[in-house]
């Protein structure tokens, strides 16, 4: 791109001609305030609707003010980012936004994490200057995962961009007109009645408290405080790589031991690890994969541990319901095993067991409510808390997280291989499955279990892996927009892959909809740091392949019998339902 | 109809149409049958004339279902064209008068009791865009061709370069008639320069200003002029496909467009290899669902794409990235209607009309407190006063006019003392208003300017798409402040607040709708500030008080019209209004034919 010369607030600079005024200003240390603007994942997803108008600046020779986020620089442009005209307009715009926004920050879960609040503090503007009508929407709580309080919506459309451009789910769009215009499903349908997959990417990008995860903290406290109940908690692989951020720790620090201690302090009776069930998932899934490979089964096989992805194909690819693996997701397998195998072993009535999952995900909340996930005779998982909710519980309980001593998971459901750790990152499930499949098919130990070729942060990746002279093609997608492209190839009969791993969230579970909030500009760096922490955890493990986990071997010997066998099918596998689109 | 495979075949066809007229000239009775005419009862008038003609068996007279000549106040209108004589215009025609007319024409050269003879009634007008409206049958392509239609297209396809077409349009000085006034030739040039194919040409027929119906009149009265111009534009910019985005509230316009498109396709004037030139062009109609903002070109484009009709930031302009990301040229109906005459008579001819900055004519829709409600096409530079007083005939009660609102709901109100301003894009802008699409809402002395501002803000609030903060929330707050002032709860500090907010909305809104929506408030504050101050001082706008004066003849008409029966008085005795019951609706004043009701 050619360079152009511009002057911003008197500073002469040269920038690429495809820069926006916002980009150019950042180059010369000017942070023009923004609200609706959003750039995600190295600009793979950009919200440039220019609807909030907070970023307006004065451009010499232009009749009206220009939105910096969506106005490209031109050679010779003279820009003023904080002239009296600009400042006055921004203040009025902020006053207008605040004139239709509830002023009960104390009751808002987004308080302290709200772009609107931060910006209005920076401007120190009179929030009551314009009085008048207020939006009056019912808080929408139809789903198990996401709560929408549109009275707090500032119509920035970020959620819409995440839902449509990035995820191609297509649930959110502008609805209604004028003052009553708001963002939501068509016809104001409740989220639960739509093809929403509850990936929570909309919640992650919402600059206010209009979109939030549904909280189950109260239910979990009640269970903990109920003497009749045995409350078992399990923690997803991705949680340990991000929970520290809830307490101001640097991203990329694994806090496994502190997390275990913290959970005990909260009063959970048994602290187990979803990682254990991730190993179990690999044994089932790799066996299913080998079975399909050897017996001419449906290929490619798609992974099925991401509930948002499962719901996505149930709505959008109803003709391909036989393609994904039938394996339940790890925490659901965990629930089924806890309420059968472990209950028997511990001689506890499974009706008294409450399984709580700590997940980086909001869709897991919905998944736990799926009626068919009850092969133990009870709902396999009772409650799901997000990483953010766990952070809040720990803070509420006064747990000084940073200084906690490390604890150890309880056994037998607390031991895991490195293969389980990497479930947290995009490509990890595929790599863990390859670790086992390669050894089982070849009958030989791998020299190195690191399949570097499947790792990375790009949304769509593919690799060829040689197993015992056989070429295995794998593809990895994170982000449902990328997944759609792979699925369309499968639908058209043009897919040459054997195994496809799909995670709904860009980067995988480490960047799930339930993880600590991150400034969008730092997101890609945080994603990388969290991934590094996970790979370090894996590398530090003595056992790195799931099928070598001795507790998993014991589980099959004592209880399940054969992998991918009859009992395993009943407890650990599931089926899919064709679902309509709104 | 047989497809005309070559330019020569077209020339022969056109000659044949003209020759038929020359050998056997006919007296034509044009019945104005656009939506307005039909609504006023033109249907039965047409039927009566047709029946009478059939009965008389006179082959020298033909009755034509024509479009609208723009004399709304005189509908149903009928025009009579006797060969070799000036056109005679009749107004308020009934079926009985229609039958009488046929009989008259059998014996007399001209009908009796005309509104005017010759073009006297149109003397201040220059009809370019409206040239055929009311004077041809819009459902007959032969009528359009007889008046020179499609000859220019045939000429262009016979070897004119696209660049030459663009140069002519550019040299004519034609500017977009949809409101923004961008030079049409330049727009075409940008589109021509865009590299990637396919390209699209879109006709913006989403006329949404309340009280504006210029485009409807063209579409209902002369649809082929739009089709020909779009085909020419397609050739000039390199587009092979076009869309006419027409509001669904215009069913007759849509029907006439459909008929016209079918006829053009049948004659081979649309479709593959037009007149053997190798150039292919076709188009389709897309119906708008009634959102005002879809008249904004980016919103219109999204609506055609099947998306939510809301504007996006420009640049990129549609010429660069429009429909489905492709180069798209959006032209308004009236703009397109000027293309054929420009090509026929030359750029210099058009350029000489109007003013140096604004060439040509502009069609205005006159409505409100004016005697001659209707359409008028005048050269640019005509003064506001000429349009309102000489064409419009001044106010209905004969008192001096107070103001005029130009440019639709987001235009401004111009006070009477500025009526000598010549109409141009820039002069109206300097007065705090806009040309817009050409609506002129005339206000008499009794109009409250605060109420007017309030009314238009209500419209803008309703029609905002809600996308950007200033338009969505800002306009609503303007409206609410006005509401408080009208209700007597205004404060002096509300006026600077209205101005500050209005200016910020203008300065920061995303699209043209938002950027102009505060104009009614800002312009009334500028020219009629004392009305706001009075409103705040006196506790709001007081409703008018109606009283009966000595002109009353005691006819009881007002008493019958009164919805709350508060007018008393015996027959042939002066009536009295019971002020304690009056709801100030004004029905009595409207009903009285003797000027016996005063209002203050």
Are B292 and B420 within one domain?
no
Q: What is the mean pLDDT of residues A34-38?
A: 95
Q: Do B308 and A174 touch (CB under 8 A)?
A: yes
Residue B27 shares a structural domain with residue B95: yes
The 8-class DSSP code of residue B389 comes to I
End of a domain among B290, B319, B347?
B347
Q: Is-contact A57 A68, C-beta < 8 A?
A: yes
List the single residue in A with minimal CA-CA distance to B460.
Answer: A178
Record the tokens describing residue B538, joined without a space: 């006196």
Residue among A53, A67, A132 whose CB faces B477 most closely: A132
Please write down the long-range contacts of B390-394, taking CB distance under 8 Å and 24 or more positions apart.
Answer: B390/B124, B391/B124, B391/B125, B391/B366, B392/B366, B392/B440, B392/B442, B394/B370
Q: What is the pLDDT of residue A250?
A: 95
Residues near B251 by beta carbon (within 8 Å), at least 6 away in sequence:
none
Residues B453 and B489 grouped into a single domain: yes
Locate B519 and state its tokens: 């104009």
Please give the tally of structural domains in chain B. Answer: 5
Task: Examine the domain organization and report whether B193 and B328 are in the same domain.
Answer: yes
Q: Has A372 been annotated as catalytic?
A: yes
> Cβ separation of B510 and A51 shorter than 8 Å?
yes
- Which residues, 6 or more positions from A354, have their beta carbon under 8 angstroms from its beta carbon? A223, A229, A230, A231, A232, A382, A383
Please check whether residue B5 lies inside any domain of the structure.
Answer: no
Q: Does domain A3-82 have CATH number 1.50.10.10?
A: no
CB contact under 8 A, A179 and B473: yes
Sign of CA dihedral B262, B266, B269, B273: positive
- Displacement of CA B246 from its chain's centroid (Å): 14
Any idea where the domains of chain A sit in the sequence? 3-82, 121-213, 217-572
CA–CA dist A208, A538 (Å, integer): 36
Is A36 one of the catalytic residues?
A: no
Nearest to B470 by CA among B501, B433, B498: B501
Q: Do both B240 and B299 map to the same domain?
A: yes
Would the CB atoms of A179 and B469 count as touching at under 8 Å? no
Residues 6 or more apart whose CB falls under 8 angstroms from that of A203 comprise A146, A159, A211, A212, A213, A362, A513
Do residues B115 and B163 share a domain?
A: no
Domain A217-572 matching CATH 3.90.1150.10: the answer reads no
How close is the nearest chain B Cα to the Cα of A17, in Å? 14
Whether residue B308 lies within 8 A of chain A, CB to CB, comes out as yes
The verdict on B366 and B429 lying in the same domain is yes
Q: Is A48 on the interface with B (CB under 8 A)?
A: yes
Chain A residues 120-139 with CB within 8 Å of chain B: 130-133
Domain coverage including residue B417: 361-443
How far is residue A18's CA from residue A62's CA, in Å, rounded to a whole number?
19
Q: Does domain A121-213 have CATH number 3.40.50.970?
A: no
Tell me the pLDDT tens digit for each residue of A309-335: 999 999 999 999 999 999 999 999 999
Question: Residue A222: how many CA atoms within 13 Å on its side-chain side?
Answer: 6
Closest C-alpha among A50, A265, A280, A43 to residue A166: A43
If phi > 0 it is left, if psi is from -120 to 50 it is alpha, else beta; for residue A384 that is beta
The most distant pair of C-alpha atoms in chain B lies apart, rounded to whole Å, by 80
CA proximity to A515, closest of A502, A534, A500: A534
In a domain, B201, yes or no: yes
Report if residue B354 sits inside a domain. no
pLDDT at position B543, please?
81
- The mean predicted confidence, pLDDT, of chain A is 95
Report d(CA A524, CA B551) in Å as an integer. Answer: 84
User: Is B469 close to A96, i.e. CB distance below 8 A?
Assistant: yes
Whether residue B399 is contained in a domain is answered as: yes
Q: Are residues B243 and B331 in the same domain?
A: yes
Residues 478-507 of B with CB under 8 A from A: 480, 500-501, 504, 506-507
Residues B425, B488: one domain?
no
Asked whether residue B211 falls in the same domain as residue B192, the answer is: yes
Tell me how close the Cα of B510 comes to any Cα of chain A, in angstroms.
Answer: 7
CB contact under 8 A, B477 and A70: no
Per-residue model confidence (pLDDT) at position B210: 85
**Is B463 touching A (CB cutoff 8 A)?**
yes
Write down the catalytic residue from A153, A254, A305, A361: A305
- Decide if B325 touches A, using CB distance below 8 A: no
A87 at the B interface (CB within 8 A)? no
Q: Specify whether B69 is located in the same domain as B188.
A: no
Per-residue pLDDT of chain B (600 residues; tens, 9 = 90+): 789 999 999 999 999 999 988 888 889 999 999 999 999 999 999 999 999 999 988 888 999 999 999 999 999 999 999 998 999 999 999 999 999 999 999 888 889 899 988 888 889 999 999 999 999 999 999 999 999 999 999 999 999 999 999 999 999 999 999 888 999 999 999 999 987 889 999 999 999 888 899 999 999 999 999 999 999 999 999 999 999 999 999 999 999 999 999 999 999 999 999 999 999 999 999 999 889 999 999 999 999 999 999 999 998 999 999 999 999 999 999 999 999 999 999 999 999 999 999 999 999 999 999 999 999 999 999 999 999 999 999 998 889 999 999 988 889 999 999 999 999 999 999 998 999 889 999 999 889 999 999 999 999 999 999 999 999 999 999 999 999 999 999 999 999 999 999 999 999 999 999 999 999 999 999 999 999 999 999 988 888 899 999 999 999 999 999 999 999 999 999 999 999 999 998 899 988 989 899 987
Q: What is the CATH number of the domain that holds B365?
A: 3.10.20.600
Topology match between the domains A3-82 and A217-572 = no
Q: Look at residue A581 in the predicted model and tell me its pLDDT.
A: 85
> Which residue in A272, A269, A289 sits closest to A228, CA to CA?
A269
Instruction: Answer yes or no: A364 catalytic.
Output: yes
Q: Which residues contact A352 (CB under 8 A, 6 or more apart)?
A: A228, A229, A230
Angle at B130 between CA B128 and CA B133, to 5 degrees: 140
Paired sense of beta strands A173-175 and B546-548, if any: unpaired
Does B521 map to a domain? yes
pLDDT at B179: 83
Tell me which of A130, A137, A154, A183 to substitute to probe the interface with B (most B C-beta atoms closer than 10 Å): A130
How many Cβ contacts (< 8 angstroms) between chains A and B? Answer: 108
Cα–Cα distance measured from residue B252 to residue B403, given in angstroms and rounded to the nearest whole number: 33
**Nearest CA to CA, how far is A531 from chain B (Å)?**
37
How far is residue B261's CA from residue B337's CA, in Å, rounded to a whole number?
16
Q: Is the pLDDT of residue A110 over 90?
A: yes
Averaged over A184-202, what is the pLDDT? 96
Query: Domain with B102 in it: what CATH number?
Result: 3.40.30.10
Q: Indicate which residue of A60, A344, A372, A408 is catalytic.
A: A372
Average pLDDT over residues A282-308: 94
Are residue B187 and residue B283 in the same domain, yes or no? yes
A1 vs B166, more confident: B166
Q: Closest CB to B310: pick one of A72, A174, A182.
A: A174
Spell out which residues of chain B touch residue A119, defining contact as CB-CB under 8 Å: none
**In CATH, what number is assigned to the domain containing residue B290?**
3.40.50.11540
* B-chain residues near A177 (CB < 8 A): 291, 462-466
Cβ-proximal residues to A180 (8 Å cutoff; 6+ apart), any chain? A135, B466
Q: Are A423 and A241 in contact (CB under 8 A)?
A: no
Q: Do A50 and B474 touch (CB under 8 A)?
A: no
Give chain B positions within 8 Å (CB) of A65.
Answer: 507-508
Cα–Cα distance between A113 and A362 in angstroms, integer?
18
**Residue at B126 is within a domain:** no
């Amino acid at each position: 791109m050619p360079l152009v010369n511009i002057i911003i607030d008197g500073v002469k600079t040269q920038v690429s001609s495809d820069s926006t005024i916002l980009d150019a200003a950042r180059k010369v240390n000017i942070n023009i305030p923004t609200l609706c603007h959003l750039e995600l994942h190295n600009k793979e997803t950009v919200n440039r609707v220019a609807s909030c108008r907070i970023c307006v600046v004065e451009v010499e020779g232009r009749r009206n003010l220009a939105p910096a986020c969506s106005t490209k620089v031109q050679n010779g442009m003279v820009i003023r980012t904080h002239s009296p005209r600009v400042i006055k307009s921004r203040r009025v715009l902020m006053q207008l936004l605040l004139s239709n926004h509830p002023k009960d920050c104390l009751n808002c879960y987004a308080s302290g994490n709200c772009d609107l609040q931060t910006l209005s503090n920076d401007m120190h503007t009179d929030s009551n200057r314009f009085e008048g009508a207020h939006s009056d929407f019912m808080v929408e709580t139809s789903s198990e995962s996401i709560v929408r309080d549109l009275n707090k919506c500032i119509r920035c459309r970020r959620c819409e961009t995440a839902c449509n451009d990035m995820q191609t789910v297509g649930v959110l769009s502008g609805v209604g007109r004028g003052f009553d215009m708001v963002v939501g499903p068509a016809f104001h349908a409740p989220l639960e009645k739509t093809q929403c997959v509850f990936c929570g990417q909309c919640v992650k990008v919402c600059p206010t408290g209009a979109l939030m995860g549904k909280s189950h903290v109260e239910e979990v406290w009640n269970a903990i405080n109920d003497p009749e109940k045995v409350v078992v908690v399990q923690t997803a692989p991705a949680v340990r790589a991000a929970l520290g951020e809830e307490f101001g720790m640097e991203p990329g620090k694994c806090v496994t031991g502190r997390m275990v201690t913290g959970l005990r302090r909260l009063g959970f009776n048994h602290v187990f690890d979803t990682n254990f069930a991730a190993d179990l998932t690999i044994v089932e899934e790799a066996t299913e994969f080998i079975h399909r490979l050897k017996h001419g089964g449906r290929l490619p096989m798609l992974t099925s541990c991401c509930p948002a992805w499962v719901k996505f194909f149930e709505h959008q690819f109803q003709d391909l319901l036989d393609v994904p693996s039938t394996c339940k997701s790890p925490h659901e397998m965990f629930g089924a095993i806890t309420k059968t195998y472990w209950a028997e072993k511990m001689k506890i009535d499974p009706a008294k067991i409450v399984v709580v999952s700590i997940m980086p995900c909001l869709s897991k909340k919905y998944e736990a409510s799926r009626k068919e996930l009850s092969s133990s005779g009870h709902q396999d998982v009772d409650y799901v808390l997000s990483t953010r909710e766990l952070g809040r519980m720990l803070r509420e309980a006064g747990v000084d997280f940073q200084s906690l001593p490390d604890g150890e998971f309880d056994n037998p459901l607390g031991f895991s291989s490195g293969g389980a750790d990497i479930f947290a990152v995009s490509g990890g499930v595929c790599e863990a499955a390859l670790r086992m499949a390669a050894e089982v098919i070849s009958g030989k130990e791998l020299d190195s279990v690191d399949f570097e070729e499947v790792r990375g942060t790009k949304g769509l990746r593919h690799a060829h892996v040689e197993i015992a002279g056989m070429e295995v093609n794998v593809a990895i997608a994170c982000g449902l927009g990328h997944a759609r492209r792979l699925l369309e190839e499968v639908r058209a009969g043009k897919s040459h892959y054997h195994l496809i791993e799909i995670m709904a969230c860009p980067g995988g579970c480490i960047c799930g909809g339930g993880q600590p909030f991150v400034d969008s500009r730092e997101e890609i760096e945080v994603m990388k740091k969290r991934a590094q922490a996970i790979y370090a955890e894996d590398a530090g493990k003595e056992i790195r392949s799931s099928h070598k986990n001795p507790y998993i071997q014991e589980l099959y010997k004592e209880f399940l019998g054969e992998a991918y066998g009859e009992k395993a099918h009943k407890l650990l596998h599931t089926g899919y339902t064709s679902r309509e689109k709104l | 109809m047989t497809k005309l495979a070559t330019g020569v075949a077209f020339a022969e066809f056109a000659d044949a149409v003209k020759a038929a007229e020359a050998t056997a000239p006919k007296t034509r009775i044009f019945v104005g049958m656009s939506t307005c005419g039909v609504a006023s009862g033109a249907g039965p008038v047409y039927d009566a004339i047709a029946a009478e003609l059939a009965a008389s068996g006179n082959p020298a007279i033909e009755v034509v279902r024509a479009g609208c000549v723009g004399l709304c106040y005189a509908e149903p209108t009928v025009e009579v064209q006797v060969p070799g004589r000036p056109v005679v215009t009749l107004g308020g025609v009934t079926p009985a008068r229609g039958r009488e007319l046929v009989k008259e024409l059998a014996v007399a050269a001209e009908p009796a009791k005309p509104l005017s003879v010759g073009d006297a009634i149109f003397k201040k007008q220059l009809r370019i865009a409206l040239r055929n409206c009311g004077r041809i049958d819009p459902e007959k392509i032969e009528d359009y061709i007889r008046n020179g239609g499609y000859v220019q297209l045939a000429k262009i396809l016979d070897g004119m370069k696209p660049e030459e077409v663009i140069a002519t349009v550019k040299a004519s000085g034609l500017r977009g008639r949809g409101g923004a006034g961008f030079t049409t030739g330049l727009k075409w040039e940008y589109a021509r320069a865009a590299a990637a194919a396919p390209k699209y040409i879109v006709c913006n027929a989403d006329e949404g200003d309340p009280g504006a119906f210029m485009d409807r009149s063209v579409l209902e009265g002369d649809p082929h002029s739009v089709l020909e111009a779009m085909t020419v534009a397609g050739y000039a910019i390199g587009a092979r496909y076009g869309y006419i985005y027409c509001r669904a509230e215009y069913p007759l316009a849509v029907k006439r467009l459909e008929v016209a498109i079918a006829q053009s396709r049948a004659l081979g004037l649309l479709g593959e290899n037009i007149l053997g030139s190798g150039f292919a062009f076709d188009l389709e109609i897309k119906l708008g669902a009634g959102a005002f903002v879809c008249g904004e070109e980016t919103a219109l484009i999204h609506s055609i794409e099947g998306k939510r009709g809301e504007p996006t930031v420009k640049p990129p302009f549609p010429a660069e990235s429009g429909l489905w990301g492709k180069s798209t040229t959006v032209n308004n109906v009236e703009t397109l209607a000027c293309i054929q005459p420009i090509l026929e008579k030359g750029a210099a001819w058009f350029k000489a009309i109007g003013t140096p900055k604004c060439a040509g004519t502009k069609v205005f829709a006159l409505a409100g407190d004016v005697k001659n409600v209707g359409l008028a096409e005048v050269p640019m530079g005509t003064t506001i006063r000429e349009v309102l007083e000489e064409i419009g005939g001044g106010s209905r009660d004969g008192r001096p006019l107070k103001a005029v609102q130009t440019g639709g709901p987001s235009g401004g109100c111009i006070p009477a003392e500025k009526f000598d301003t010549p109409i141009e894009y820039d002069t109206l802008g300097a007065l705090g208003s806009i040309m817009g699409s050409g609506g002129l809402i005339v206000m008499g002395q009794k109009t409250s300017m605060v109420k007017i501002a309030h009314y238009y803000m209500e419209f803008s609030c309703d029609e905002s798409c809600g996308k950007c903060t200033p338009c969505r929330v800002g306009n609503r707050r303007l409206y609410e402040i006005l509401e408080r002032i009208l209700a007597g709860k205004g404060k002096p500090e509300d006026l600077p607040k209205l101005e500050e907010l209005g200016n910020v909305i203008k300065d920061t809104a995303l699209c043209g709708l938002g950027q102009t929506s505060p104009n009614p408030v800002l312009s009334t504050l500028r020219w009629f500030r004392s009305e706001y101050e009075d409103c705040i001082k006196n506790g709001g706008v007081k409703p008018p008080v109606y009283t009966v004066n000595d002109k009353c003849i005691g006819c009881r008409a007002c008493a019958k019209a009164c919805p709350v029966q508060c007018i008393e008085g015996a027959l042939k005795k002066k009536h009295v209004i019971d002020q304690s019951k009056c709801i100030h609706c004004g029905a009595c004043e409207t009903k009285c034919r003797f000027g016996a009701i005063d209002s203050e």
